[in-house]
Amino acid sequence: MGRPWNDWFHCNGNTYGTWLRGSELGYRERHHRRHVEGDYKSPPHPEKDHPLRQRSKRSMRKPAVYLTDEQTHMGGVAMVHRLLKLEIELLALTANAYHFHLLGRFPDHRPRYYVGLAKQYASFLLTHADSLMAPVWAKRCRCLPIADRKHQTNVYQYILDHDDKGACYV
C-alpha cells in the first residue's frame, strides 16, 4: 500500500456472499495469486470459472445477504455514526443492497481496522433490529490510499455517482 495523501483512503466492501470467487461479474483473487481474465466492465465467459463458483457457493455457511432499502439506510447510518465517534473524518459514504464505498481520513493509516469496527457496529444493529443472521458483511474490505487532491475529488465523485444505487449518507 502506498503512502496516502493527507491520510485519505477510499474503502469499499460487500455484504456476505455477494462477490464470490468465480463470479460471473468478474473477480480478483486475494493478493492476485492467480490471474483472472476480465473484470466488472468486461466480465469473463460465464462458464469459464463455473466449478470455482460452485465450490465457493457450497462453502458458504448461509445464503448471500442482500439488504433492503431500510436495512441499507440503517447500516449506512450506523457505520457513519461509529466512524465519527472514532474521530474518523468522512467525506462520503454510500451503500446499497450488496456493497458500500467510503472516503475517509485515517491518521494512523489503519483504515481496515476502523472500517471493521464500523461494520461490526452496523452488523450488531442489523441483526438485532431486523433479525438478520450474522455475518452481514464479508470479511475485510478494500482500502486504497488517495494519491493527491485530484484523486480525492475523483473518488468523491465516484462515490456520489453510486447514489442512484443506494443512499448517500455524508
136 and 161 fall within a common domain: yes
The pLDDT of residue 143 is 95
The pLDDT of residue 169 is 65
115 and 162 fall within a common domain: yes
Written in H, E and C, the secondary structure of 80-149 is HHHHHHCCCEEEEEEECCCEEEEEEECCCCCHHHHHHHHHHHHHHHHHHHCCCCCCCECCCCEEEECCCH
Q: pLDDT tens for residues 89-146? A: 999 999 988 899 999 999 999 999 999 999 999 999 999 887 778 789 999 899 999 9
How many angstroms separate the CA atoms of 10 and 32, rounded?
A: 19
Q: Give the domain range for residue 47.
A: 21-59
pTM of the full structure? 0.82
| Count of domains forming the chain | 2
Contact 44, 38 (CB under 8 A): yes
Q: pLDDT tens for residues 12-55? A: 999 988 776 655 555 556 665 665 666 666 666 666 666 666 66
Confidence of residue 3 (pLDDT cuts 50, 70, 90): confident
